[in-house]
Amino acid sequence: MKKNIGAFRGVTAALAAASLLLALTGCSATDAKATATPSASETNPYGGGFTVDAPKATDVVLTVTGSKTVDYTMGELEKLATKTITIVEPFVKKQQTFTGVPLKTLLDAASIGVGNKVNTIALNEYQFADTVANLEGNDAILAVSRDGAAIPMDQGGPIRLVYPKGTKYFTYLDAWNWSLRTIKVTAGK
C-alpha cells in the first residue's frame, strides 16, 4: 500500500509547531487541552490537502516510453478516453464514474507489447512494476475524469490507473497508481 510521507512530514511539522507554541506561551503539554485533529491522510487518502490548478489541454501530463517515447497532453488523453466504468472507488469507498483510455491503447502507441514489464511512476515517485500482460489482463484504464469532471491533484489526479470491478486488480490496491506521470519499459521479452 502507498505510504504518505508528505502527510507524515506535515503531522511532524504540526507537532513541532505546537510544542514551540506551548513553550513560547509558558504552557506545558499537560496544561493544554487535547483536541483530535485528523491528519491529511485520515481525511484524504491521497494526502495533500492543498489544491493545484488542473492542467491545460496543452500541458504534457504523461510520458510513455517503450521502443519509442510518446508524450501525451491532457487534451490528447481526453480525446482518447473511450472507456467509462462506474465502481465503488476503494480508497474513498464511494461510487464514482471514471472515464479514460484503455492502457493497451497507450502501450501499443509506444510499441510496448504483452511480453514486456513496465514501471508506472507517479508525481510523488510512487512506483508500481508489473507485466503488461497483467495490466492489460485486468483491463487497466488511465482515468482522465471522474464523475464527468477533471480529477483534482489532491484527489489522485489529474490522471490515474483504475480497474473495473470483478478484476483481480480491483482489490490489488498497489496497482492503483494515482497522479501518474510516467510509464516505461523495465524489461523486454
- Percentage above 90 pLDDT, the chain: 67
Query: According to the model, what pLDDT value does residue 48 have?
Result: 60
CA gap 113, 159 in Å, rounded = 22
Query: According to the model, what pLDDT value does residue 126 have?
Result: 94
pTM: 0.74
Bigger pLDDT: 1 vs 136: 136
Place of cell 464523475: 147
Which CA distances in Å does 99 have to 5, 77, 82, 140, 160? 29, 10, 7, 12, 11
Which CA distances in Å does 25 have to 16, 30, 32, 119, 165? 14, 13, 11, 50, 54
Query: According to the model, what pLDDT value does residue 42 have?
Result: 52
Cell numbers of 168, please? Answer: 483481480
Burial label for 104, CB within 10 Å (0-12, 13-18, 19+), is middle
pLDDT one-digit tens code per residue, 120-174? 999 999 999 999 999 999 999 999 999 999 999 888 999 999 999 999 999 999 9
Query: According to the model, what pLDDT value does residue 36 have?
Result: 39
Calculate mean pLDDT across residues 57-72: 96
Q: Give the three-class secondary structure for 126.
A: coil
Query: According to the model, what pLDDT value does residue 23 have?
Result: 33
Bigger pLDDT: 141 vs 53: 141
The answer to whether residue 105 scores a pLDDT higher than 90 is yes
CA gap 189, 185 in Å, rounded = 11
In angstroms, how far is CA 77 from the centroid of its own chain? Answer: 16
Bigger pLDDT: 147 vs 27: 147
Cα-Cα-Cα-Cα torsion 180, 183, 186, 187, nearest 10 degrees, comes to 140
Q: Which run of H or of E encompasses 162? A: strand 160-162
Give the range among 6-10, 71-75, 92-96 with minimum mean pLDDT.
Answer: 6-10
CA gap 64, 28 in Å, rounded = 54
Cell numbers of 2, please? Answer: 502507498
